[in-house]
Amino acid sequence: MSNPSNISSNSPGKVLFFGGYSILEFGNIGFALGVVDKQGKGVYSRIRIGEKRIISKEFGIDEEPSFESPHLISKAYAVGEAYLKAKNKWRNDLEVELFNSPIFGTKEEKSGLGSSAASTTTVIKSLFVGNKLDPEFHKETIFKLSQFAYALFSNKIGSGFDIAVSSFEKTIKYKRYDPNEIDFNSLEKSVDKPWNEVSVIEAKVPKKYGILLYNIKTAKTSSIKAVKGFKKLKKENPELVRELLSKQNEVEIKGIEAFENGNDGELRAYTHKAREVHKRLSEEIMRVELIDPIEPEELTYVIEKAEEIKGVIAGRAPGAGGYDSLAFIINKLDFSEANIEEIRKFGEDVGLKLERIEVKLL
């Protein structure tokens, strides 16, 4: 294997602070924070020319990649290889080995930062690097190939925002892609044509803002199951879902504007309004599907107590919510590191083991 310091490709994790569930609908905006560890790593790879292989200790995989494999990263390799061969740009068979930064947690206790999406994009980027193609120049193609691979694996479940963050390596404002752009029988055409619905815009991140993130240990929430529950509710009561998501999108657009403008008070106020909509949506989803609440009562307690601390602007159970993680936007000018332990103790008050994840905001 190559020198341990030689990282071929790297993809960040994500925190969907605004847009959980509403981002599943066309035209609604999501706000996803790109995050890496203190060394700037997310899911990274090392490659070796010669044998065609995909390896990941974290996922327990060491195999020859193929479309038939049940594993996402193996399918991602197969998708990238097929596309580059169709373009006559495949020069080398590659061994791609993936490594996860500790910020993603473990398979048993994931942190909700999107290791699957980051792994997918890192595999695709690695194939470009290993075939002497600049991944920076080909970001849009990498984004589309990664969406194709994930759609193939999940049968087109999800909005693709996590793939977008990992592909473009930024904090972004995102409007979802149309799954109909993807034709499983026509990879090259699907990737090369324009995608009309999708929008990826780099967000403005004021220097004063940081993110404080906690993994909820001994807990795990399935985002895919949560999304399936949401879709079940939408099928049974489309008008109610449309009404709730419209309200959510309206207040979250204002919350994103407040973040970009550095307005602490409005950022907190609109985050609170968005959380109120999520609580109502959660109640409705749980009527039709047994899932974890979007914001469990224990997390509500921790958020409310934490927001009493100077410098803590707003907290949420990000993304699909549940017991994966807890995120706070902080004003670094006012926040004291001494309060990190205090927030952890708020978790203990309600039986939660919170572990801080040290990340940098992109």
Q: What is the CATH number of the domain that holds 21?
A: 3.30.230.10
DSSP codes, 226-259: HHHHHHHHHHH-HHHHHHHHHHHHHHHHHHHHHH
Last residue of a domain, one of 183, 202, 221: 202
Lowest mean pLDDT among 74-88, 215-229, 255-269: 215-229
Give φ, ψ of 332 to 5 degrees. Answer: -65, -20
Rounded Cα gap, residues 255 and 267, in angstroms: 5
Interhelix angle 161-168/115-130, nearest 10 degrees: 40
The helix/strand/coil state of 144 is: helix
Question: In the prediction, which pLDDT does 6 show?
Answer: 55
CA end-to-end span of the chain, whole Å? 30
| Integer angstrom CA distances of residue 53 from 144, 153, 169 | 22, 19, 25
What length does the chain have?
362
Same domain, 194 and 214: no
Same domain, 24 and 137: yes
Q: With bands split at pLDDT 50, 70 and 90, how would you rate the model's confidence at 11?
A: very high
Rounded Cα gap, residues 91 and 29, in angstroms: 39
Same domain, 219 and 188: no
Same domain, 148 and 247: no
Across the chain, what does the average pLDDT equal?
Answer: 93
Same domain, 32 and 105: yes
Residue 35 belongs to what domain range? 9-202
Q: Are 152 and 173 in contact (CB under 8 A)?
A: no
Rounded Cα gap, residues 56 and 46, in angstroms: 11
Same domain, 107 and 249: no
Q: Does the pLDDT at position 2 exceed 50?
A: no
Rounded Cα gap, residues 362 and 279, in angstroms: 29
Half-sphere exposure of 254 toward its Cβ, with a 13 Å CA cutoff? 14
Question: In the prediction, which pLDDT does 290 show?
Answer: 83
Q: With bands split at pLDDT 50, 70 and 90, how would you rate the model's confidence at 108?
A: low
- The number of folded domains in the chain is 2
Q: Does the pLDDT at position 176 exceed 80?
A: yes
pTM for this entry: 0.91
Half-sphere exposure of 235 toward its Cβ, with a 13 Å CA cutoff? 8
- The count of other CB atoms within 10 Å of the CB of residue 196 is 9
Task: Provide mean pLDDT across the span 156-172.
Answer: 92
Query: Would you say residue 2 lies in a domain?
Result: no
Query: Would you say residue 3 lies in a domain?
Result: no
Q: With bands split at pLDDT 50, 70 and 90, how would you rate the model's confidence at 156?
A: confident
Same domain, 130 and 17: yes
Query: Would you say residue 104 lies in a domain?
Result: yes
